Structure 1
C-alpha cells in the first residue's frame, strides 16, 4: 500500500463522515464544548487547506479537499459566526486560530479581521497567559489572518520544548505533540520548510527517526502521523528509506474504511473489517486527518521537480529507429 493510497483512503473516510464535523446548536452556547464543536472543524479546515496547497488542481484529491473546505466554510455561515464568537468570548484565542485555517485557504471575512485587529492590540490580549507552544500558534494565527503579530516569534520559539533543544531522552507524549505543532506553526503547516531554523532542523533530522520508531512500537498512530508530517516539513527530509517502514506500519493500522485509530491495535488487523465504522468518531477523526496531512506532505516532498519529471517521461525512449 502506497503513501498515496493511505491519503486517499483517509480522505474517503473524512468525506463519508463530513457531517460529524458540522457545527451544532451548541457551537455558540455558553456551556458548549469547544473541543467537540469548533476544534474538529478547525482541524478539518487546516488539513484540507494544506492538502489543497500541495496537491495539483487536476488531482481528484485536490477536488475532494476543495469540496470539504467549502463544506467547512458553510458551517461558519461564510465567516459570519466569527464576529459573533468574538463578542461572546472577546479574549478567547480559539476563534482566531480556527479562522486562520480558513484564511490560509483564501476564505476570509474582512469585518472579522478588522475587529480582531483592534482586539489583539489590547493589553488584555497580549498578557493572556498561555503555554509557549500555544503562544507561538496565536502569533502565527495573527499573521495568517492579516494582523500584525503582538509578539516576537523567535522569542516565543525559544520558550518551547523544541526551541530549547532538550536532551533527546526526555521525549514523551506531551513533548511530542508540542514539538510537532511548533514545526507546523513555523512552516505554515508544511508550506514553508525554510521556516525551521537550521539548529532545529539538524536536531530533528537526527532524533526524529528513533522518536517515531518509539511511537510506532507503542501504537500511538496519531502522534506517529504528526511526526511523519514533521519529517516531510523539514528543509531536508530524512532519506526515503528511513520513512518506508513507518509508512508501512501506518498503512497496516488503517482500517478498510480508511479510518486510523488514535492509538492501539487496529480492529481489523487480523482479518476482515468488522464494519463501516470500526471506531468511534472521536477516537479516530484526528489521527485519520493527520494521516492524510502527513501523506500529502510526504508525496509533495519526495516528488521530483517538474523538469525532472518531464525528463523522466522521455528517459529510455531512445532515438527513433
Structure 2
C-alpha cells in the first residue's frame, strides 16, 4: 500500500498560502476597478478568487491550524478592498445586468460578510427579464444560480436542468476530455459542492463517472505540466463520495511539490526549460496567482479528506482515506 505523504501536501499548501499573503498587494483593487476601461480579469476576478479560496480553506481547517488564521486574514483583506461591500453598489449602478459583481459578492456573503443594501439592489435586478434571459454557458449559469442562493435571491430556474446541459452533467464521452472540458467539469463540481460546503452535492451518476475517469485525466494533465488544472482535479478527487486512491494522491502531490518555485508560487503550466535544463524565472503575478490559489485549495480539501477533520463548524469532509483493511488514516 502506498502511503500518502501528508507533510508534503501540508508544506506545499503552506508555502503557497505564504506566497499569496506576501503578494496580497497584487490583489488590491486599483482606481480602474470602477471605470469603464477597467479590466475585470485583472481586478475583480483575482480578488474574488482569493476570497473564495480563503473562505473554503477556513471552512476545511480547524482554528488550531495556521492555515486557518492566515486564510482568515486574507479574506478580511479582500472584504476591506470592497469597502466592506459598498463598492458592489457602485458596480450595480455601472453595470446593472452584469453577473460578475453578484458572483464575487456571494463569496463574501457565504462567509457571513454581507451588505444588505447591495443584496436588495441585486434582488430587484434579478427579478427582471433581462437578468433571466442573459445568455451564458451552462457551467457559468450554474455558478450564477449558486451566487443568487448565497445572496438570498430566490428564482424558479432549476439548477438540475442547467447541470445536465454541462459537459460533465451530460456525461460526455471520456475521450473527449481536453483542457477546456477539464476546467468546465471542475467548476461544475465546485458549484455543486458550493466550494466545499456541501459534500453530498455531486449526484451519484456523476460521482461514478468521475471515479472511473478522473485518475487518467489527472495523470495526463500532470504529465503535460498543467499544474493549475491538475490542482483543480485534485480538489474534485477529494470531493467525491469514495476516497481517492492513495497511490494517485502520492504521485500527484509529489509532482505538484516539485513544480513549485522556492517562493511557494506554482506556475499555471510548466515553463520551457533552457538548454541546460533549468527553468526560467518565476512567472508574473497574473500567470501564477490562480494556480497557487488552487494549490492551497487542493491541499486544504485533501488534508481534510485524509484526516476526516471537517473544520471548525463540524462540517463533514466525507469518508476519510483509509488503508486497506481499515487500519486507520493513511499517512
After TM superposition, the score normalised by the length of structure 1 is 0.91
Is 1:302 aligned with 2:306?
yes
Write the deviation string for residues 198-234 of structure 1: whole angstroms up to 9, x where unpaired.
Answer: 0000000110000000000110000000000111111
Flag structure 1 segments of 5+ consecutive residues without an equivalent.
310-314, 316-321
Structure 1 or 2: larger helix share?
1
Classify 1:293/1:87 alpha carbon distance in 2 versus 1 (closer, same or farther; 3 Å).
Answer: same
2:71 equivalent in structure 1 = 65
Root-mean-square deviation (CA), in Å? 2.0
Residue equivalent to 2:160? 154
Equivalent in the alignment of 1:177: 183
Q: Is the 8 A contact 1:180 1:226 kept in 2?
A: yes
Whole-Å Cα distance in 1 between the matches of residues 54 and 94 of structure 2?
Answer: 28
Equivalent residues of 1:120, 1:150 under 8 A apart:
no
- Deviation digits for residues 111-155 of structure 1, max 9, x if unmatched? 111111111111100000000100000000001111114511100
2:163 & 2:73 partners in 1: Cα distance? 35
1:208-223 equivalences under 5 Å are 208-223=214-229
Aligned partners of 1:190 and 1:233 also within 8 Å: yes
- Residue 316 of structure 2: aligned partner: none
1:162 is paired with a residue whose SS is coil
Q: Which of 284, 296, 309 pairs up with 2:288?
A: 284
Residue 139 of structure 1 contacts residue 150 of structure 1 at CA under 8 Å; is this kept in 2? Answer: no
Aligned residue number for residue 319 of structure 1: none
After TM superposition, what 4+ stretches of structure 1 lie above 3 angstroms from structure 2?
265-268, 270-274
1:318 aligned partner: none
Q: 2:119 aligns with which of 113, 128, 134?
A: 113
Give the number of aligned pairs. Answer: 305
Equivalent residue number for residue 207 of structure 1:
213
Residues 1:36 and 2:42 aligned together: yes
Is the alpha carbon distance of 1:273 and 1:166 closer, same or farther for their aligned partners in structure 2, counting shifts above 3 Å?
closer
Which structure is richer in relative contact order (CA contacts within 8 A, separation 6 or more)? 2
Q: CA 1:8–1:172 in 2, change beyond 3 Å: closer, same or farther?
A: same
Q: 1:93 to 1:234 in 2, by over 3 A?
A: same
The CA distance in 1 between the partners of 2:278 and 2:304, in whole Å, is 32
Kept in 1, the 8 Å contact 2:61–2:309? The answer is no
Where in structure 2 are there 5+ consecutive unaligned residues?
1-6, 311-319, 321-326
Tell me, yes or no, if the aligned pair for 2:271 and 2:279 is still in contact at 8 Å.
Answer: no
Q: Is the 8 A contact 2:272 2:279 kept in 1?
A: no
**1:163 match: secondary structure:** coil
* Matching residue of 2:20: 14
CA contact (8 A) 1:6 1:295 kept: yes
Name the stretch that deviates more: 87-96 or 106-115: 106-115
Offset of residue 240 of structure 1: 2.1
